[in-house]
Amino acid sequence: MTLADEAIAWYATNARDLPWRQPDTTPWGVLVSEVMLQQTPVVRVEPAWRSWMTRWPTPAALADDPPSEAIRMWGRLGYPRRAMRLHACAVAIVERHGGRVPSSLEELLALPGVGTYTGRAVATFAYGQRHPVVDTNVRRVVSRAVEGKPDAGPATTAADLTAMEELLPADVPRAAKASIAFMELGAIVCTARAPRCVDCPFHDVCAWRLRGEPLPEGPSRKPQRYAGTDRQVRGLLLEVLRHATGPVPRQRLDLVWNDEVQRARALAGLVEDGLVERLGGDFVLAGDSPRGEVQNLG
């Protein structure tokens, strides 16, 4: 059996039961899940995805609302620009494709905020096509099982896509199954810090294990700090604006963080990113202000 065959067989009995993997999930549901899952664990995404799909079951439903509603619904998932990208994506899908998520990889990649990974993921997981779908988990599995290295590089390269494509079966439906199987292996078995090699279908042939599981060369990457960062301050500012029923005066936002310089920098960053708009001396989420009244942050 090939690695793909082993992975598919393992996935058939070990895959997690996730809502966006159900047979009746639409391509829009798959797209939403892939955007939400970027840098966010499944346990936090699942309830958010269910709420999102209940409110906006189609791209047209989301496109009919202002982007501020997408930011509100995004809640505390983090990296809220993803909410803006999803809204822009929904608008583009309505304008360019009649409200239907396109199936062609070229058209998917042309959508706002859809990159190499997301486009291939939607084409593969929603439409069953044959594409190398490569994220951190997949790169780690391939690096260990095939190359004998403890981990992959910091970013996906063309070589990663080529390496994964060579592992995919020629049969298109099985190739799509192999893609999700490799990803699942990396997520729950071949993990970064505590791999469960005894449970891995590649246990007997994994090049990394056969080499004695060598440690990575150089220092390992440390988890990103959150407390005290601009990200935390941005989150606190957005939390106030998400729950506001009208424009919020700057004095109210000043209460969320004591460091004036950092607070001003975080607020300016939110405005620059298009998440927040200035309305006179007040602030609102993007899309909540009447037309013509938005001002730059001075």
Is 95 annotated as catalytic? no
Neighbouring C-beta atoms of residue 277, cutoff 10 Å: 23
Residues 6+ apart with CB under 8 A from 16: 42, 184, 188
Q: Give the tokens for residue 248.
A: 């919020």
Rounded CA gap, 27 and 122, in Å? 7
Among candidate residues 34, 69, 184, 277, the one labeled active-site is 34
Rounded CA gap, 70 and 84, in Å? 7
Rounded CA gap, 209 and 197, in Å? 8
- Quote the crossing angle between the two packed helices 172-188 and 3-14, to the nearest 10°: 70
Q: Are 82 and 38 in contact (CB under 8 A)?
A: yes
Closest among 64, 52, 46 to 28, alpha carbons compared: 52
Closest among 24, 30, 28 to 94, alpha carbons compared: 28
Tell me the H-state helices in the chain. 3-14, 27-36, 42-55, 59-63, 67-74, 81-97, 105-109, 116-125, 136-145, 158-167, 172-188, 207-210, 230-243, 250-253, 260-272
CA 197 to chain centre: 27
Closest among 72, 75, 80 to 47, alpha carbons compared: 75
> So which residues are the catalytic ones?
34
